[in-house]
Amino acid sequence: MSKNTQVLIDSLPEGKLSESNYKLVESPMPEASEGEVLVKTIAFAITAGTRAGLQGSASYAGAPQTGIVMNSLGVGEVIAGDNSSFPVGMKVQARTGWQSYSVHKTSELTEIPEGTDPLHYLGPLGINGLTAYFGLLEVGQPKTGETVMVSAAAGSVGHMVGQIAKLKECNVVGVCGTDVKCEKLISDLGFDAAVNYKEANFRQTLKESTPNGVDVYFDNTGGMILGSALFRMNTGGRIACCGVVSQYDTSSPEPGPKGIPGLLVNKRIQMQGFIVFDFASEYETARSEIIKWIDSGKLKILTDEVKGLEAAPTAFVDLLAGGNIGTRIVRLDLE
């Protein structure tokens, strides 16, 4: 009988996350009880938000714990269970975590239609793609000709936000941490401008890249980039607060930037946080539109692949340091 290989949270990070916060273990194979199915993991996503879970700052994730499998969205194949809606052989999206096998109630699964690449359910059709879609379109409410700024722009959520904004005929400015990423956003994904926030003259370059100001800021980072964006916002602008990645990998997050609430008042800016789960009833509608964009070549998907469970901790530490371009996934099907 095969074993289940798992990556457990061994200790909670003090300061920055490190590989030593995890341990790889072999556990007995889980078994599906009545109403459950056993899923073999094909791949899972490494996402920035799960660092907030380890920090205790993600309300939906609850208090951080050790000795449990690291949480993540995955895709896999049903390999056992007796459920006609989720038969053996079906590909599903599930919260597999960082492990080779997991057991799920069928109410926790999403069927991946035949003919669709399961890996798309970690990126554009998964949580991050839906976050980009609803955060921009429902919260940001971009209009033709407006300027949309997005931070962590070369990451999983960010690279899709910018392209969806281009589809809505906006002027798009990305902010990210390297010149290579900036170049890719412009030449491969059609962003109008991209600015490296690590450069000393960031604020000045941002100003020059947004000559008409910013109407919608999609904030993945908080911190200094949010502080800079506030000063570029136009009257009546919208800030969609998606996440705070600049403040996750630390035990002492900084306070919010200057300008709140003064600039919000003076410029009548609407600043709204959201959690993608709020839009769960509309996921399938969004997925049909996103699939059309992918099939027509209007939405390019950047995926950054790592092989094998044992590579996951380093892949996560590296993502928080900006090592990824697009959606970082760990593939177990290539082992």
Which residues lie near ligand NAP (CB under 6 A)?
47-49, 52, 127-128, 131, 152, 154-158, 176-178, 181, 220-221, 223, 225, 242-246, 274-276, 319-320, 322, 324
- 212 and 143 Cβ atoms separated by less than 8 Å: no
CB nearer to ligand NAP: pick between 22 and 197: 197
Task: 125-129: list long-range contacts, CB under 8 Å, 24+ apart.
Answer: 125/287, 125/290, 125/291, 126/45, 126/73, 126/93, 126/327, 127/45, 127/47, 127/73, 127/276, 128/45, 128/47, 128/156, 128/157, 128/160, 128/327, 129/160, 129/290
To which H or E segment does residue 203 belong?
helix 202-209
Q: Please name which of 92, 74, 114, 124 lies closest in space to residue 294, comparing C-alpha atoms.
A: 124
The distance of closest approach from Cβ of residue 153 to ligand NAP in the complex, given in angstroms and rounded to an integer, is 7
What residue type is assigned to position 147 of the chain? T
CB nearer to ligand NAP: pick between 92 and 244: 244
The distance of closest approach from Cβ of residue 301 to ligand NAP in the complex, given in angstroms and rounded to an integer, is 13
The distance of closest approach from Cβ of residue 100 to ligand NAP in the complex, given in angstroms and rounded to an integer, is 23
The first and second tokens of residue 298, run together, are 């209007």
CB nearer to ligand NAP: pick between 186 and 275: 275
The distance of closest approach from Cβ of residue 278 to ligand NAP in the complex, given in angstroms and rounded to an integer, is 8
CB nearer to ligand NAP: pick between 4 and 205: 205
The distance of closest approach from Cβ of residue 154 to ligand NAP in the complex, given in angstroms and rounded to an integer, is 6
| CA pair distance 282, 5, nearest whole angstrom | 35
| CA pair distance 195, 183, nearest whole angstrom | 9
The distance of closest approach from Cβ of residue 246 to ligand NAP in the complex, given in angstroms and rounded to an integer, is 3
CB nearer to ligand NAP: pick between 102 and 156: 156
CB nearer to ligand NAP: pick between 156 and 210: 156
